[in-house]
Amino acid sequence: MIAQDWPNLNKYQKANQALKAGPMIENSIVFMGNSITEGWSVARPDFFDGKPYINRGISGQTTPQMLLRFRQDVIDLKPKIVVILAGTNDIAGNTGPIGLEQIRDNILSMVELAKANGIYPIVCSVLPAFDYGWRPGKEPNIKIPKLNSLLKKMALAQNIHYVDYFSAMADDRNGLHKDLAEDGVHPTKKGYLIMEGLVDGILIKTLKDLK
């Protein structure tokens, strides 16, 4: 039996080695997340091109998987900021049952790891979702707002920025309109543009504050 690379440590191993071997990127920012982050570079390459933005999203991942790869995919790259967008796949149960407080605590652990290594963490709200096509009946329209409330309180307690994508994107069912996500989960270009408008302002402010 071949051992499984459960957190997918292998995915960015070569890219990380190349980054560390090259010239230091000033004011680099790592985007840590799942398919919503990974797909951002595909749907909106202009957002990343020519900027010190490093995409470390992996499709389907949950917060325990991200926590396991946080050191190699974030800390070892020595960024100035990490933007953490995670939790929807936990609610979907991609790697098994998990409570909302446990999801929050995994993200808190990433926040604490970042701070301990001189990296400023930014926590993002989970995007709206009325239901999951691959795992229906998980009630994300009810659970995501509750998780976001926990994440917002945690960010406040940690004195870090919180990016509220949910409020700007949710429809009257706490889901995503087809204009923003054709499958109800993964943003279209229009959806990503809303996200960019929100996160860019916070990144600019944070970089100024850190100088």
Residue 23: inside a domain: no
Look up the domain containing 124 and give its range.
Answer: 28-210
State the Cα–Cα distance between residues 70 and 76, nearest whole angstrom. 9
pLDDT for position 1: 53
The answer, as to whether pTM is greater than 0.75, is: yes
- Enumerate long-range contacts of 140-148, CB under 8 Å, 24 or more apart: 140/88, 140/91, 140/92, 141/173, 141/174, 141/175, 142/174, 143/91, 143/100, 144/87, 144/88, 144/91, 144/174, 145/174, 146/100, 147/87, 147/91, 147/100, 147/103, 147/104
Residue 95: inside a domain: yes
State the Cα–Cα distance between residues 211 and 207, nearest whole angstrom. 6
Residue 19: inside a domain: no
Distance from chain centroid for Cα 109: 14
Residue 10: inside a domain: no
Per DSSP, the three-state class of 164 is: coil
CATH of the domain at 185: 3.40.50.1110
The answer, yes or no, to whether residue 3 has pLDDT greater than 90, is no
Per-residue pLDDT tens digits for 47-61: 999 999 999 999 999
- Taking residues 22-49, report their average pLDDT: 96
* First vs last C-alpha separation in the chain: 51
The answer, yes or no, to whether residue 67 has pLDDT greater than 90, is yes
The answer, yes or no, to whether residue 8 has pLDDT greater than 70, is yes
Number of domains, the chain: 1
Residue 87: inside a domain: yes
Q: Which residue has the tokens 């998780």?
A: 147
Residue 110: inside a domain: yes
Residue 63: inside a domain: yes
Residue 83: inside a domain: yes
- Burial profile 30-43: b = 16 or more Cβ within 10 angstroms, e = fewer: bbbbbbbbbbbbeb
Per-residue pLDDT tens digits for 177-208: 999 999 999 999 999 999 999 999 999 999 99
Measured CA to CA in angstroms, residue 24 lies from 17, 57, 116, 151 at distances of 12, 21, 20, 32
% the chain with pLDDT above 70: 99
Asked if 74 and 121 count as a contact pair (C-beta separation under 8 A), the reply is no
Q: Which residue has the tokens 């051992």?
A: 3
Asked if 141 and 131 count as a contact pair (C-beta separation under 8 A), the reply is yes
